[in-house]
Structure formats: C-alpha cells, structure tokens
Structure 1
Amino acid sequence: MKYVQAIHQRAILLKIKGVFFSLLFLMFPVQSFGDVNRWEGVCKKVEKMQLPVKDRPDAEAAKSLDKCESANLYYGFDITPDPTKARHCAYLEIDRGDDIVFGGSAILMMIYANGNGVKKNPDFAIKFACKLDGAPAEMEYRIQHLLDLKKTKGGKAFDLCDDITSGYMQGHCAGREQRFADAKRKRNLDGILAKWGEKDKQEFALLKQSFDKFSEAHVRNEVDTTGTARAALQIEEESTLSKEFVNAVVQFEKGKLPRYTHAEFINTDRELNTVYGKIQSKKDFDSGSVMQSDIKHTQRAWLKYREAWVAFGRQKYPQVTEESWRTWLTKKRIAMLKQFPD
C-alpha cells in the first residue's frame, strides 16, 4: 500500500474510533451510582479513606527510586515490570507533583484495581481515579468501571485507557503503545549494531541523528493538527517513520539493497522537483494546519537526511551507488508530498 494511502486510512480509522466511542457511551448509559447518583459523590465517599502506610516506600527504597518513572516500572516498556517498585515510585511521583497523565495516581489506580503486588482494592483505585484530570464522561465511565470491579472476579486487567472518550487521551494512549513498539525496534536495532565495526556504528549514529531531526520536522510540520485526534495522528506518523527506518536497516542487512540507474535517479529527482514546486506555487494551498512554509522547512531537513544515508551507505554498503541511495529516499519523499494538494 502506498504511503499516502496509509496516512489517509490511519486518519480515517482514528476518526471512526472517536465516533464509535462516542456512540457507544450514548447507547449504554452509566448505571446508577447508588445514593449519590454521580461520580463526584463516589469520590467524596473515598476522599478521606486512609491508605496503608506499609504500601509506601521506606527511606531506603525512596532513595533508590530518586529519578524513577512508575509507568515504565509498571508496564515494562524497556525493562522487566516490577509492581512493587512501580507502586513505591508512584507514591513518590505524587509527592513530587503528579502532573503527568501516566503518573503516580494513574499507576496506583491500576495497581489497586488489579491487585498487582498488593491486595486488590477497588475503593483505593477509585480514590486515585478521582485525582485524575479527565473529561467528565471519562471520569464517569472510569468510576463506574471500578465500581463494577467490586462485583466481579478475574477478567481483563483494568487500564487507564479502557474508558477514554477524548482525543487528548487517545493521543496519550497511542503514545503508550508507541513506547512498546519503540522499545522492541530498539532491541532489534541494537542486535544488528552489535555485529558492526566501530566506523559503521559511528556513521550510523550520525544517520540516526539526521533521521530524528527529519522525523521531528515531518511530524510537527506536515501532519494536520486541526482535529481532536491530532496527537494520536502525530504519534502514529512518528511510529510509522521509525518502523520504516528500522525495517530498512533489517532488509539491507539481508542483502536487499537499493539498486537504481542514473536515468532512474534523474527521472525521480525531476518528479520530486515537480511535485514540490506545485505545492509551493499553489496560491490557494489548503491542508489544514500545514502551511507551505512548514513543508519547505521539512524539505530542508529531509535533504540533510538523504545525504546522511549517502554517507552511511558509502561506509557500510560501498557496493551501492550514491544515486541509488538518493533515488530510494527521493521516491519515499515524493509519496509523502503527494498527500498535499498540488
């Protein structure tokens, strides 16, 4: 499937998901919260509930977790999950300010809801859920979800992303999934780099720096951020670029290298100039939040990125011509630019 088609399909899918969640919440109204009838009332009931002192870290544990991240300790993005350290770290994060989405309150909510390393306690989970800053519908359904856990045993583990209704949280939850994917890609890449010589590694490090700058520019400048799912779209796009980058290295190591002729490079380069020129010369250019100047800025980052591949290829794969590298990268850039009206 072509790159531009993939972008549009992902955007449509995210919008459909948002509509689906909204319709789902309308079709299945929240059950009564009992006497108070509102999630705010439930929160008031658990507000003064005392948490076990033994669940907090002692001085020694706190010192060892000075710069910890409870989300990584809980989920295990790039380390082995440790529910006890995650709990201790989460309490410390609350003391520090608890100002991130997957921060202390969110992690402790899930720990007590699922009984990870502690006795399961939905009421404690609700207490921490009430500290979260979520959309009213999100809070309502999350509190109800936790109340339902008091009546059930087993089943699917409770998660912060189970009851999201906003594009804001959709973006953060997409970011969490990307961290899992990024960690897996990093392990694969590290395994490949471990077999390389020092000069290859040094040149690749420069390539990776150039890729990161181009990826950042593309995601910031060339993804329409006018919709409510803008964060999720940007995260999805960043993840796609990262996946393509690592997959390319994997394929090249298998010997599947780009091979293009001089004539192919000339034709591809001419097509790039035509597509880019039409975008920049269009007087009524309209692509949401993306401006022509944004594309121009990203194009400059891409040109540096393309030449970084040429330099790396010269060192690692000397059998590949410079024009082959440029043709391969140029074809990919053309596909990106064709998503914009010309």
Structure 2
Amino acid sequence: MVTLQQIIRTAAVFAALSPLTAYAADNASGAIDRACAKVAAVRPPAADRPTPAQRNTLAGCDSEALYYGIGQKADPEKARLCAFIEQEKETDTQPEGFSGSHILMMIYANGKGAQRNTPYAIHLACTSSWAPAERDSRVQHLMGKKESWYKSDFEFCDDATSGLTGGYCTAHDLRFKKVKQDAALNNFKNHLSDKDQAAFATLQKAQAAWAQARSDKEIDLSGTSRASFGLDEENLQNQDFIDMLERVQNGKPPAFGPTQFAQANAKMQDTLTKLAAKKDTLQDGTVTVQSIQQAQTVWIAYRDAWADFIKTAYPSWTQASIKTWLTMKRVDMLMHLLPN
C-alpha cells in the first residue's frame, strides 16, 4: 500500500505553481542571498523556548493542530512551544511540510503566539525552505516586497512551488475535512446497536481499503502534483461514504431491484472489458489495466461489505438496492478511465 508520506516524498520537486520570474531575477542579482546572510545568526529569545515542565506537558504534541485549531481550540502559544520541541527533532536541514521550523516561521512572521520577529522568520525561510524558488518567494514576502502579505496572514503554503510542498498543503487542508468526517462517522455509529456496530466496523475497514486502492491504482500519479491528486481522490471517496451513510440513515432506499442490479452489473463488466481491450492506450500514466483490476477486487469487497451491513442494520434497504447504487457509481468511475 502506498502511504501519504511515500506519495508526497516521491513527488517531483519543481512543479511551478505560481509565477516566479521576479523572484528568480532578484536572486540572480544576489538580493535574496544577501538578505539571508544578514539573518544567518538570528535566534529567537531564549524565554520563548519551552521549560522542562512544559516539555513534559507537551509530549507528543502537534504544532500544526495547535496553531490552526485542527480538532481542538487553536492555541498559538502552545503551538510555539510545541514547534520548538519538534524543531529540535528535525534531522533534515530542509524539513518538509508543516514542520516545527515552518510553524515557527509563521508564528514569528505573524506575531501570533509570540512577539513578531521578522528577522528570525526570514532566517527560517532561508534555512528550512525545501525548494529554492520557495525560499526566494518567502523571503520576498517577509521583506515586504509582495503586496499580498499584511503582517498577519503569512502562510507556509502561499509560496509553494513544488509538487512536494503542494502535497503537504493538500494534506493540511484535508485535515480540517477529516475532523468533520470523523465526527459524522461517530455520530452515525452511535445510533447503531452493538451488533450493528460490529458490522459497521467491517464496512469501515473495507471502505478505507477501497479509498486507498482507488487513489493508488486509478488516479494518474505520474505528474508533479500527484500527491495532491491522490489525496483529493481519497478524500472524495471518504466523503461519498459519509453521504451514503446519511442517505441510508435518513432517506428512502432507491427503487432498484434485481433487474436494475443485473443491468448495472452487465454495464460494469462491459466497461471493464473495454478497458482491457484498450490496454496499450492506458500506459501513458500510472493507471494500467492491471491496476484497475486490482482496484476492482478491492471495490467488490467494499460492495459486499455494504450489502452485509445493510442486511443486518437497515433491512428496508434490499441487497439489490444497495448493490445497484454502488455499481452505478462504479460504472461512472470506470467509464471515465476509458481513453477518449
């Protein structure tokens, strides 16, 4: 199974996501390098760092969640303390994603969680930016040469230029959505009996495997923004799952019977046959006939887990109704994989 970290780390590095000509010109003249040299020795006040007691309290903390209030109330001061702890554990001189160094860069740039310290923020931009163009753009921001920064809204992702950083920024955005999705799943689960919760746990496991298989096997991951594409698709499948649960809980089942299921299943098999016949035209990206077949196997297990859950928890939904609904969704996915 391909993990989030593997997808992001293997993403191509120099996918241009924003115009960089002005910044490249600035550094061609040495302006960025000189700005970085001026702040090379800058460090934050010692009093800003966590005390031993605070370190114990913040063991295992998440500065990103604390700074942004992901799944909890935002606490920029705790985020600062946590970020220093995380920074000390960084082994790479150019840490990736929402690292301690990058959270501190925002804290000191925005004066949010600590007194504003622009020189130290610039120092962090110079020393911890993963791609050269990102470094140059961030320094430009912090030096006040980009009109879009208003001294309180400096963001790590605003200067993303690489597929690597783009993947982390997508993952960051999806963390907020996942909090809402998890709440919806828990709410649904809490309305089930103990017996039905066991069946639901099996369904959740099958759904997670399907969402991962869909993003790994049926999304083209050859481009520089592949991390973002894969993560977006996984989130799309997770949200579709929640939307289906809400329909099952609150709505009437669709009027599908055995005939409609047979028709949908025939259409799905026909589309799979067409895809197999087009194998030579599916090789430009990472999606292949084999990867589609692998995803299809996982999808079948997901469909069957839905049918088993419906049978025990929502018997008013017939096997034919849920299987037809899922199969129609699957046909739509497969048809979009057919070459034009």
* Structure-2-length-normalised TM-score: 0.87
Does residue 102 of the first structure (1) align with residue 95 of the second (2)? no
Does residue 39 of the first structure (1) align with residue 23 of the second (2)? no
Q: Which residue of 68, 76, 82 maps to 1:83? A: 76
| AA partner of residue 77 (structure 1) | I
RMSD over equivalenced CA pairs, Å:
2.3
Q: What is residue 329 of structure 1 aligned with on the other side?
A: 326
Residue 321 of structure 1: how far off its partner (Å): 1.1
Does residue 228 of the first structure (1) align with residue 221 of the second (2)? no
Q: What is residue 295 of structure 2 aligned with on the other side?
A: 298
Name whichever of 59-68 and 193-202 sits farther off.
Answer: 193-202
Residue 153 of structure 1: how far off its partner (Å): 9.2
Q: Take 2:262 and 2:147, find their aligned partners in 1: how far apart are those partners?
A: 68
Q: Take 1:76 and 1:149, find their aligned partners in 2: how far apart are those partners?
A: 29
The alignment partner of 1:338 has SS state of helix
Residue 293 of structure 1: how far off its partner (Å): 1.1
Q: What is residue 335 of structure 2 aligned with on the other side?
A: 338
Does residue 25 of the first structure (1) align with residue 25 of the second (2)? no
Q: Take 1:266 and 1:64, find their aligned partners in 2: how far apart are those partners?
A: 59
Work out whether residues 106 and 132 of structure 1, in 8 Å CA contact, stay in contact via their aligned partners in 2. yes
Identity score, percent: 34
Work out whether residues 207 and 305 of structure 1, in 8 Å CA contact, stay in contact via their aligned partners in 2. yes
Q: Take 2:122 and 2:244, find their aligned partners in 1: how far apart are those partners?
A: 46
| AA partner of residue 327 (structure 1) | T
Work out whether residues 113 and 149 of structure 1, in 8 Å CA contact, stay in contact via their aligned partners in 2. no
Does residue 279 of the first structure (1) align with residue 275 of the second (2)? yes
Work out whether residues 259 and 320 of structure 1, in 8 Å CA contact, stay in contact via their aligned partners in 2. no
Residue 32 of structure 1: how far off its partner (Å): 5.5
Q: Which residue of 273, 290, 310 maps to 1:313? A: 310
Q: What is residue 134 of structure 2 aligned with on the other side?
A: 138
Q: Which runs of 5+ in 2 are unaligned?
A: 1-14
Work out whether residues 110 and 152 of structure 2, in 8 Å CA contact, stay in contact via their aligned partners in 1. no
Aligned pair count reads 320
Q: Which residue of 194, 198, 201 maps to 1:202? A: 198
| AA partner of residue 130 (structure 1) | C
Q: What is residue 52 of structure 1 aligned with on the other side?
A: 45
Q: What is residue 219 of structure 1 aligned with on the other side?
A: 215
* Structure-1-length-normalised TM-score: 0.87
Q: Take 1:120 and 1:60, find their aligned partners in 2: how far apart are those partners?
A: 25
Residue 314 of structure 1: how far off its partner (Å): 0.9
Alpha-carbon displacement from aligned partner over 1:220-247 (angstroms, at most 9, x marks no partner):
1111012111111111111111111111
Residue 255 of structure 1: how far off its partner (Å): 1.8
| AA partner of residue 238 (structure 1) | E
Residue 150 of structure 1: how far off its partner (Å): 11
Alpha-carbon displacement from aligned partner over 1:279-300 (angstroms, at most 9, x marks no partner):
1233523251112111111111
Q: Take 1:159 and 1:230, find their aligned partners in 2: how far apart are those partners?
A: 22
Q: Which residue of 52, 62, 67 maps to 2:55? A: 62
Alpha-carbon displacement from aligned partner over 1:172-212 (angstroms, at most 9, x marks no partner):
11111111111112122222322322222221111110000
Name whichever of 262-271 and 247-256 sits farther off.
Answer: 247-256
Q: Take 2:160 and 2:150, find their aligned partners in 1: how far apart are those partners?
A: 22
Q: Take 2:111 and 2:211, find their aligned partners in 1: how far apart are those partners?
A: 40
Alpha-carbon displacement from aligned partner over 1:263-310 (angstroms, at most 9, x marks no partner):
111111111111112212335232511121111111110000000000
Q: What is residue 7 of structure 2 aligned with on the other side?
A: none
Distance 1:128 1:326, change over 3 A: same
Residue 313 of structure 1: how far off its partner (Å): 0.5
Residue 30 of structure 1: how far off its partner (Å): 6.9
Q: Which runs of 5+ in 1 are unaligned?
A: 1-17
Residue 170 of structure 1: how far off its partner (Å): 1.7
Work out whether residues 122 and 150 of structure 1, in 8 Å CA contact, stay in contact via their aligned partners in 2. no
Does residue 160 of the first structure (1) align with residue 156 of the second (2)? yes
Alpha-carbon displacement from aligned partner over 1:53-84 (angstroms, at most 9, x marks no partner):
11111001111222112111111221211112
Residue 252 of structure 1: how far off its partner (Å): 1.8
